[in-house]
Amino acid sequence: MSFMNFNFGLIAFEDQNITNPTVRSVDITRSMTGIPITAERTDRVDQLRTGESKVIASTLRSTLQDNTTGYDIVHPWVDDVGTVRLQWNGTGTNPNFVIKRTIGTSAASSVAISRLNPATARVTSVGMSTVSVQVGDILKFEKSTDTFTSVFSVINQNAFKVVSTGANYIDVMDNGVMSIETFILGAQFDKQMRCFAVGPVQVGDTLEIMGTGQNIGNMGKYEVREISYDYVQIINPYAVDLSFVNTNNVRIYDRLVGFICIRANSTLSVSINDAVPFKIQRVGANEALFIGSLSAFKIELSNEEQSEVSATVHYSSYV
């Protein structure tokens, strides 16, 4: 973690003494020190041509969702009104919350969990393919819900980190908690046991649900608590079950840009979170300057002038 000191002064005056004016209409001085920040960065945008745009900061997770992606907001457990899933319903483009690993199981697959050492369990299935599985991936045994019944014991219904693989087995770090058992996966085999790479969406990210036509109980920003192939899980005690097609309703990001300073050699257009751009103007012979405290997942610069523009941009996130 880093820290930021922010000091500025603003004087507007009416007399001709530039260095020490006495007739001041505005005189503001502020000093804010020791502000905790993270992900600080300075970028240089050189020779942005007329009509050209450039995204200088984006904290959005790179899912594949588009305006055809169909979502359901569902309560996986009726008795748990707070736990909610935003779930791809199979229509439109798959958002791919995570990178799915193909492990080649089927309804007839027998899966055995054994103890390799005190901290590691081995998951074995004859015919299982581990070619695409990598160390650091997640092996997940989905939890039973009101519409799905896991064949595995409750203690095994969890997500575990892959530490090694073999021809027909995957070793996971479980710190000794997994129960030793063997089961046939059955008809819902694709939900029983899943393997995926971490990302693009990760636990701890922020899911934002907004947009017209959305129920007000679903709208807001929520911490991602759990992820899988086709859903992200959050806590929202006011959520209402709903099916909808994504039309810029859903965003997932890891953090927000909180502070930004833009310095440009000419007038520049700035768009925050895909909103209508505003212009930062060059002041006389001086540079164009914008300093702001904001909540942004995307910042884009555009040149609408008749000559090239260059800029220096510094931004960071608040802790």
**CATH for 267:** 2.60.120
Average pLDDT over residues 11-29: 78
Q: Verify that 102 and 141 share a domain, yes or no.
A: yes
Domain annotation covers residue 226: yes
Domain annotation covers residue 173: yes
Give the mean pLDDT of the chain: 92
Tell me the pLDDT band of 9, cut-offs 50, 70 and 90: confident
Domain annotation covers residue 131: yes
Q: Verify that 114 and 238 share a domain, yes or no.
A: no
Q: Verify that 102 and 185 share a domain, yes or no.
A: yes
Q: Verify that 123 and 91 share a domain, yes or no.
A: no
Q: Verify that 141 and 184 share a domain, yes or no.
A: yes
Domain annotation covers residue 65: no
pLDDT at 15: 76
Q: Verify that 102 and 196 share a domain, yes or no.
A: yes
pLDDT at 23: 78
Q: Verify that 189 and 209 share a domain, yes or no.
A: no
Is the pTM above the cut of 0.85? no
Q: Verify that 105 and 118 share a domain, yes or no.
A: yes
Peptide bond into 95 cis (omega under 30): no
Domain annotation covers residue 299: yes
Q: Verify that 107 and 158 share a domain, yes or no.
A: yes
Domain, as residue range, for 146: 98-200
Tally of residues, the chain:
319
Domain count along the chain:
3
**CATH for 79:** 2.40.30
pLDDT at 221: 95
Average pLDDT over residues 184-202: 94
Average pLDDT over residues 44-70: 93
Q: Verify that 91 and 224 share a domain, yes or no.
A: yes
Q: Verify that 8 and 132 share a domain, yes or no.
A: no
Q: Verify that 53 and 77 share a domain, yes or no.
A: no
Domain annotation covers residue 64: no
